[in-house]
Amino acid sequence: MAKDKLSERQSEILNFIRTFQHESGYPPTIRQIGESVGISSTSVVNYNLNKLEKGGYLTRDLKVSRGLRLAHGPDALGGLGDVLRIPLVGRIFASAPVPVPGAATSFAPDEAIEITRSLVKDPENLFALQVRGDSMIDAMVNDGDIVVMRRQEQARNGEMVAVWLNEREETTLKHFFLENGRVRLQPANPTMGPIYADPANVRVQGKVVLVLRQMK
């Protein structure tokens, strides 16, 4: 059972939650819902909320006060349609590998940047890093710049990736090319030459999808 049609009461509940959330900035309590809909018993509200959750109309967080949110539907609360919030997971500099966030890790970064979805084609697996130092100027990336990356271990020819070079023990941002069994890493700065490396010594850590430089 997924989407049953709503009872009159359940519609009222949804409606009230929507209004309350909009006006208060946070969801109502069970008792507030009951009061607005004319239910004296908290258990009945709870009962209906569970129904609504089963129906996919909202999500609940158990044991959490006001722990519910409307499903992202026609006019969901957040409405964050075209704004992506990308975790700023750390710094990137030449002398250390990229701090790639773990796959299933539900980390909670206290910092994040927001960009419009239109700036990237695929919003999956993105994270952001701030560049530390001048070591990546050959990638046209300056101290303080923010690079948005997608986590991936494989690179296709021509993509700009962050790689860790075992031999040199450094992280660098380069355009990646696999040619005749060796890797050519081409700086973005057209005035500079490529470096070559053995594929075994190159570890791709992510693909650069966006570089942001904010001026003071």
Binding site for DNA (CB under 7 A): 7, 9, 29-32, 39-44, 46-48, 51, 60, 62-67
Active site (annotated) includes residue 41: no
5 binds, among DNA, its own copies, none (CB under 5 to 8 A by kind): none
Contact between 137 and its own copies (CB under 8 A)? yes
Beta pairing, strands 112-116 & 83-92: antiparallel
Query: Residue 7 carries which DSSP code?
Result: P
Contact of 128 with 88, CB cutoff 8 Å? yes
Contact of 145 with 131, CB cutoff 8 Å? yes
| AA letter at 79 | G
The 3 state secondary structure assigned to 155-200 is CCCCCEEEEEECCCCEEEEEEEEEECCEEEEECCCCCCCCEEECHH
51/151 with CB nearer DNA: 51
49/204 with CB nearer DNA: 49
Instruction: Give the Cα separation of 142 and 160 in Å (integer).
Output: 16
173/183 with CB nearer its own copies: 173
Q: List the one residue from 55, 159, 170, 186 that touches its own copies (CB under 8 A).
A: 159
Active site (annotated) includes residue 3: no
Helix (H, G, I), strand (E, B), or coil: what is residue 70? strand
Per the residue annotation, which of 11, 135, 207, 216 is the catalytic one?
Answer: 135
96/137 with CB nearer its own copies: 137
Q: Shortest CA distance to 50 belongs to which of 58, 40, 38, 41?
A: 58
Instruction: Give the Cα separation of 123 and 119 in Å (integer).
Output: 9
Q: List the one residue from 4, 42, 50, 78 that touches its own copies (CB under 8 A).
A: 78
Query: Residue 119 carries which DSSP code?
Result: G
48 binds, among DNA, its own copies, none (CB under 5 to 8 A by kind): DNA
Q: List the one residue from 2, 63, 104, 114 that touches its own copies (CB under 8 A).
A: 114
42/116 with CB nearer DNA: 42
Positions annotated as catalytic residues are 135, 174
Residues in contact with its own copies by CB under 8 A are: 12, 15-16, 18-19, 22-27, 29, 36, 59, 61, 65-70, 75, 77-83, 85, 108-116, 118-120, 134, 137, 140-142, 158-160, 188-191, 207-216
